[in-house]
Amino acid sequence: MKVTVVRSGGFAGIERRAQSDSASDPMLTRLVGRVDLKNVPPPGRIPDQFLYEIDIDGDRATVGEAQLHGPLRELVHHVLSRVH
């Protein structure tokens, strides 16, 4: 299983991208298991907020930072923290 997170937007508009593979990331499958990408609210158009695009094996959703809560937030921060 592969998860890719791309953060875009923000005042700086600087993109950050990270990917994790369950083959080398033992926590990934458990974190993904608690996430429902189909029930993510639309990101809204809040000036300068961060937007997170999450891709789980080809299933994709974009969420605004104001709606990034719970298991999805844990997953996003987990994946982003593995690169930087």
Partner 1 sequence: MRCHIVPPHMLERIARHADDPALRDRARRTLALTSAHFADRRLTAAGAPAPSEDFVPDRTIRDAGNREELPGRTVRAEGAPACGDETADRAYDWLGATFDFFEAAYRRNSIDGAGLRMVSTVHYGDRYDNAFWNGEQMVYGDGDGVLFTAFTGPLDVTGHELTHGVTQHTANLEYYGQAGALNESMSDVFGSLIKQWHLGQTADRADWLIGQGLLASGVGGVALRSMREPGTAYDDPRLGKDPQPAHMDHYVETYRDNGGVHINSGIPNHAFYLAATGIGGNAWEKAGRVWYDTLTGGSLAADIDFAGFAAATVQTATRLYGADSVETKAVNRAWTGVGVPPKANG
Q: Tokens 């930087």 belong to which residue?
A: 84
In the complex, least distance from residue 45 CB atom to partner 1, rounded to whole angstroms: 4
> Which of these ranges, 3-11, 20-28, 30-38, lies near partner 1 under the rule CB under 8 A?
3-11
Distance separating alpha carbons of residues 30 and 23, to the nearest angstrom: 13
- 51: contact with partner 1 by CB under 8 A: yes
Task: Say whether residue 53 binds partner 1 (CB under 8 A).
Answer: yes
Q: How many helices (H) and strands (E) would you count in the chain? A: 2, 4
Instruction: Quote the tokens at residue 22.
Output: 């369950």
Binding residues for partner 1, rule: CB under 8 A, are: 6, 8-15, 45-51, 53, 66, 84
